[in-house]
Amino acid sequence: MTLAAAGGSFDPQGPAARSMAELWWLMLVLGIAVFAFFAVLLAGGLLRRRRADADADAESMSGRRFTRWVVGGGVVMPVVVLVVVFAATVEAMRDVPARVPDGALVVDIVGHQWWWEVRYPGEGVTTANVLHLPVGRPVALQLTSADVIHSFWVPALGGKLDLLPDGTNTLVLQADQAGEHRSNCAEFCGLQHAEMGLLVVAEAPDRFAAWIAGQREPAAEPVAATARRGQELFAGAGCASCHTVQGTRATGAGGPDLTHVASRPSIGAGVVPNTTADLAAWVEDPHTVKEGVGMPASKLSAEDLDAVVAYLETLR
Amino acid sequence: MTPSPGPPPDAGSETPLVDEPMTHQELDELFADPPGLWGQLTGVQNDKIGARLLFTGFFFLLLGGSFDSVLMRLQLSFPQSDLVSPQLYNELFTNHGTVTMFLVILPIFEGFAILLLPLLLGTRELPFPRLGAFAYWTLLFGGLLYYSSALFQLVPDAGWFAYTPLSGPDFSPDLAMDFWVLGLGVAEVGAIAAALEIIIGVLKMRAPGMTLSRMPLFAWAVLVMAFMILFAFTPLIIGSLLLELDRGFGTQFFDPEQGGSSLLWQHLFWIFGHPEVYIQSIPAAGVVSMVIPAFTRRRIVGYTWLVAATVAIGFLSFGLWAHHMFTVGLAPIILSFFAAASMAVAIPTGVQVFAWLATIWSGRPVWRTPFFFVVGFLVIFVIGGITGVMVAAPPFDMQAHDSQFVVAHLHYVLIGGVAFPIFAGVYYWFPKFSGKLLDERLGRWNFWLLFIGVNVAFFPMHIVGLLGMPRRVYTYDPGQGWDIYNQISTVGVLAFIVPGIAVFVWNLVRSLRRGEPAGPNPWGADTLEWAVPSPPPEHGWSVLPIVRSRHPVWDQDDLHAGDERLERFVRGLAGWPLRWRAAVIVGTADARPQEVFRVADPSIWPLVAGGGLLLIFLGELTKLRWGIAIGALALLGAAIAWNWPVEAPMTEEEEDAFEQEHGVPVNAGGSVVVAAWGMGLGVLFLGIAFASLLLAYFYLRLENPAWPPPGLAEPGVTRALAAAALVVASGSAARFGLRRLASGDRPGLVLGLVGALGAGGTAIAVQVADLVHLDIGWTTHAYGSIFSTLSGFVVLVTGGALIMTAMVLYWSLRGLYTARRHAALSNVATFWTATQVIWVVGFATLYLGPALT
């Protein structure tokens, strides 16, 4: 299929998405068949030749012909198709696990306006806007929200599930192949709903383990003088009241954990790549990059800004 | 292969003419509204109200629905485009959904119904002309209030679905969402008012002989639509009330931190929101069922099946709201239930489609513009129906939900399934009301541009949705393979749909000025409206038709011939009386005349009442709460003045004489039957509102393990028991008074009414004292919020009962009621019965609810 090459839910890469895709192809085939049946009847009714002398009453419908149309076409056919579709639906629902399977990796995902907090409680790792998964192992995502309703969706891996402020929803996924998937919030959540991106990285178990090990490390102590000054500014300029950097005095909550911010591919939940220039622009005034975010503009001089950015770039 | 346009059907040559007796002119003047501006403000004529609703619906569409879709498509043509800011984009899609779902399709179909029904059913007016006027004013005021948000740069931006907590006070702190809640609130009241008018009109005001099984399918469709409006919009009004209480008064219904629930809103909203889709598509299917027979020259196949399908869809649509919530984390068993219910809708829909196909197959197509639109409807609607079954399957919906796939699906259903029949209906009925035909060549352009445009614009969205593009995003990243699909969609809108709409508007304007004259029956159609002249006289029918067939214009040589007694009756009514607006009530099923009554005259009070309602909502919006009090007083005063008894133009003896001659009772003072139906539906409305509040109560009760929350004691029942006993007593007293009147005992009547007033007033005092004593507080926890709100609702209903009782007591003392003329009293007694039930059930829930486990 050419569409499969395009990705998304046409190109399933896990058991949940695969059974959804199978259901879709079945329904598509049935749908095309129903439409073709209807279209032939409609075209026939509109275009067929009629005898010029045909009498009105002879052509009006009654008895068995009527039954064939309205009962056959309007009741029997839909019932047959629906029974097949419903059976396939129930079958596919079984492939969407309702319970957490044994040996699953548990990941907590908390939606915020407009970024993703990602925590690996068993591993003691907290990150943001990037979700690493080991290939071949079920992952139980415990979804919840810190503010409004969001929705988690990686089309290639499975369906979506909402993040509610009251209660936790569990979504079980499994990636069968390594690969990166772009994901975006799928429930309208306010101004920057469109820019609430999450990068999902499915990788081989050993690479995943290595990534976890790296993330578990506390932040490296900066060496260069600028970066050291940046660390002090970070603690003093108010950054630390919202951000945590493990192993330092910065233990704020509310904003993303920045312990390994420099290892992330993008900033602002995928809005710009994580380059020095973009990072500087973000720290100076994130609203020029992503209007409306919760972080205020910093009132730093150019020199101080460089120092803070230099410090952040040490957080690998 | 393109079928050549058939010759215009033999224009009206077989149409039986209606009688135009000497009284024609006088009747026309009697039913006309006063001239000039005053007439515009006081007018109640159904033609005027219907046309206004239609026009206002189109106006709101052009004002918002179309302009914003063009901007959105331009913005999405290229990734990372910054043509439109995120804020503006969110406002655009919120407005687009809100306007089309609340302010466009609904008034258009209510307008069609109010405009057409009297002609279609063979009656002179609808039962409550003033209620129709009120429905129009509230729609207009509500729409303008909503739109006025733009003047203050406070355009609502939380989506047409306004999910909490995003739409709540914490995340939408400015007044934008208040404009949404309150503006639509006014319009929703109007929608329900029009629905009551339509229900009673269809069931009680038809031509003699038009039994339910001879009723045109469009009338069936709007009847089902109107019932659905009543059952769907009422929970929405309650939901909106709770949301506004959260926003304006600090209650905690939707705040999870304080015992509220984020999902309660979704349930209340979708209990409205899903039926709303069918509220729009059922009358559209009704139009199709009218147009197909006219343009295939055949009777509709499977009439009874089509009626059954319409009713079945109406019922089913209330059992599948949760399919909009498949991704909120419902249990699998609930998913399966709602999936099965959603798929089941395909069966009655299949019956409809195949009945239409069978009619086309058995007939001879006449290719005129209305028929083109109906064929286009069939093609697009079937595609929308097929994707509808797909999204009813939860595993697939978890992929499709909130993606562009759903945008594609819903536009196939709403443009193909609803807008196309609206166009068909406009091309079909425009000649009836303007006397001019719309241009056929422009009609073809109109059709093909829209048909191609809809498919070009919306088909690609299926694909891009499954590729992963969510909906309601103001932009997207390049490199995901989405660009090309978005560009095709934009071309569909700009190159086809926009010109298509422009051609339509041009056709209307041009044909109004120099369209071909239509004659009474340009299409050779079968239903009653085609027998009267185009445009029709104000009163529609001088001599009422006597219906003996489902297709009277095709089957009856003489529309006024029939049973001898009926003939004498309709001819008698045509010549008499000419001093007041007489209309006929018929038996619901058998359509035998039951009553001749006087239809209300033009009046300024519907406008004042609409203004009062607007003031209430405006007072809340501006937080000038005294405005609410003034508005409430204006509304109350207008309601009393509106219903003020008018002196009957006939004495009881004259009424008796007429009844003896024609066998049909006359109620010149006002209808007994219609008033009782009005009260019945009014009570039903209150019952649904009350049930919605109970649903909210039990939902919150189940969500909260601690009920009442820690620190609050369970309420003691002693005072509440006393108050409930008093309410039961006051209802009994009111009914006692009514029974005394029947036996001619007027002092007994007065005694009963005074007793009802005293006991009811005391009950409210006792209950309010207990609420003050309990001191629950509505702002700290959802428990207190629902306790206070439900109590307030019950007390308000009882207050209404007391005001009505005071009014009828006043009129009783003035000797207005006789053993025969006392419809208002019976209605107040009915209202008291409802009040007793609401009070007892309401307070039993509140006081005993905490004890339930």
- pLDDT digit string (tens) for A8-41? 889 999 999 999 999 999 999 999 999 999 999 9
Q: Which of B783, B383, B196 is nearest to A31 (CA)?
A: B383
Confidence of residue B93 (pLDDT cuts 50, 70, 90): very high
Percentage of chain B exceeding pLDDT 70: 98
Q: Does B173 touch chain A (CB under 8 A)?
A: no
Closest residue, chain A, to B366 (C-alpha): A46
Q: Tell me, what's the pLDDT at A6?
A: 59
| A39 contacts in chain B (CB < 8 Å) | 379
Interface test with A, best of B335, B342, B357, B383 (most A CBs within 10 A): B357
Q: How far is B805 from chain A (nearest CA, A)?
A: 46
Summarize the confidence of residues B235-251 as an average pLDDT.
96
Residue in B262, B297, B481 nearest the CB of A6: B481
- Which DSSP string corresponds to A249-275? S-B--SSPP-TTGGGSSEETTTTEE--
Residue in A41, A156, A160 nearest the CB of B398: A160
Residue B502 amino acid letter: A
d(CA B360, CA B39): 45
Give the residue, A186 or B853, on which the prediction is more confident. A186
Q: Which residues partner with B593 through β-bridges?
A: B586
Q: Which residues partner with B596 through β-bridges?
A: B584, B666
Summarize the confidence of residues B648-674 as an average pLDDT.
85
| A69 contacts in chain B (CB < 8 Å) | 301-302, 354-355, 357-358, 361
Q: Which residue has the tokens 């101004």?
A: A191
Q: Tell me, what's the pLDDT at B240?
A: 96
- Judge whether residue B736 has pLDDT over 80: yes
| A149 contacts in chain B (CB < 8 Å) | 163, 165-166, 262
| B203 within 8 A of B220, measured Cβ to Cβ | no
Q: What is the mean pLDDT of chain B?
A: 93
Q: Does B769 touch chain A (CB under 8 A)?
A: no
Q: Which of B164, B159, B162 is nearest to B97 (CA)?
A: B159
Q: Does A7 touch chain B (CB under 8 A)?
A: yes
Summarize the confidence of residues B131-148 as an average pLDDT.
96
Give A179-235 pLDDT, tens digit per residue.
999 999 999 999 999 999 999 999 999 999 999 999 999 988 899 999 999 999 998
| A46 contacts in chain B (CB < 8 Å) | 3, 360, 365, 375
Angle subtended at Cα B173 by Cα B168 and Cα B178, rounded to the nearest 5 degrees: 70
Interface test with B, best of A46, A95, A185, A290 (most B CBs within 10 A): A46
Q: Does B328 touch chain A (CB under 8 A)?
A: yes
- SS3 assignment, position B729: helix
- Asked if A93's CB is within 8 angstroms of B332's CB, the reply is yes
Give the residue, A51 or B445, on which the prediction is more confident. B445
- Which DSSP string corresponds to B622-659? TT-HHHHHHHHHHHHHHHHHHTPPPPPSS-HHHHHHHH
Q: What is the mean pLDDT of chain A?
A: 91
Residue A230 amino acid letter: G
| B349 contacts in chain A (CB < 8 Å) | 78
Give B530-569 pLDDT, tens digit per residue.
999 999 998 889 899 999 999 999 999 899 988 889 998 9
- Asked if B340's CB is within 8 angstroms of A86's CB, the reply is yes
Instruction: List, as ranges, residues 109-128 from A with C-beta within 8 Å of B.
Output: 113
Considering the entire predicted model, what is its pTM?
0.95
| B259 within 8 A of B252, measured Cβ to Cβ | yes
- Judge whether residue B9 has pLDDT over 70: no
- Asked if B470's CB is within 8 angstroms of A186's CB, the reply is yes
Instruction: List, as ranges, residues 374-403 from B with C-beta within 8 Å of A.
Output: 375, 378-379, 382-383, 386-387, 389-390, 393-399, 401-403
What does the DSSP 8-state code read for residue B6? P
| B383 contacts in chain A (CB < 8 Å) | 35
Q: Which residues partner with B582 through β-bridges?
A: B598
Q: Does B38 touch chain A (CB under 8 A)?
A: no
Closest residue, chain A, to B157 (C-alpha): A190
- Judge whether residue B27 has pLDDT over 90: no
Closest residue, chain B, to A162 (C-alpha): B328
Q: Tell me, what's the pLDDT at B4?
A: 33
Q: How far is A221 from chain B (nearest CA, A)?
A: 36
- Asked if B466's CB is within 8 angstroms of A47's CB, the reply is no
Q: Tell me, what's the pLDDT at B760?
A: 97
- SS3 assignment, position A181: strand
Q: Which of A100, A280, A263 is nearest to A172 (CA)?
A: A100
Q: Does A185 touch chain B (CB under 8 A)?
A: yes
C-alpha distance across the termini of chain B, in Å? 70
| B471 contacts in chain A (CB < 8 Å) | 188
Summarize the confidence of residues B302-326 as an average pLDDT.
94
Q: How far is A220 from chain B (nearest CA, A)?
A: 33
- Asked if A70's CB is within 8 angstroms of B301's CB, the reply is yes
Residue A128 host element (H or E): strand A125-128
Instruction: List, as ranges, residues 15-44 from A with C-beta within 8 Å of B.
Output: 17, 19-20, 23-24, 27-28, 31, 34-35, 38-39, 41-42, 44
CB proximity list for B853: less than 8 A, separation 6 or greater: none
Confidence of residue B694 (pLDDT cuts 50, 70, 90): very high
Confidence of residue B659 (pLDDT cuts 50, 70, 90): confident
Residue B274 host element (H or E): helix B262-296
ipTM for this prediction: 0.96
Residue in A9, A61, A182 nearest the CB of B480: A182
- Asked if B375's CB is within 8 angstroms of A42's CB, the reply is yes
Summarize the confidence of residues B55-79 as an average pLDDT.
91
Over the Cα atoms of chain A, what is R_g? Answer: 28
- Judge whether residue B276 has pLDDT over 90: yes
Q: Tell me, what's the pLDDT at A62?
A: 61
d(CA B316, CA B336): 15
| B463 contacts in chain A (CB < 8 Å) | 3
Summarize the confidence of residues A113-134 as an average pLDDT.
96
Residue B409 amino acid letter: H
Instruction: List, as ranges, residues 58-97 from A with C-beta within 8 Å of B.
Output: 59-61, 65-66, 69-70, 72-75, 77-79, 81-82, 85-86, 88-90, 92-93, 95-96
Instruction: List, as ranges, residues 205-244 from A with C-beta within 8 Å of B.
Output: none
| B207 within 8 A of B546, measured Cβ to Cβ | yes
C-alpha distance across the termini of chain A, in Å? 41
- Asked if B352's CB is within 8 angstroms of A75's CB, the reply is no
Confidence of residue A54 (pLDDT cuts 50, 70, 90): low
Closest residue, chain A, to B86 (C-alpha): A191
Confidence of residue B3 (pLDDT cuts 50, 70, 90): very low
| B561 within 8 A of B50, measured Cβ to Cβ | no
Instruction: List, as ranges, residues 137-156 from A with C-beta within 8 Å of B.
Output: 147-149, 151, 153, 155-156
Residue in B353, B355, B463 nearest the CB of A3: B463
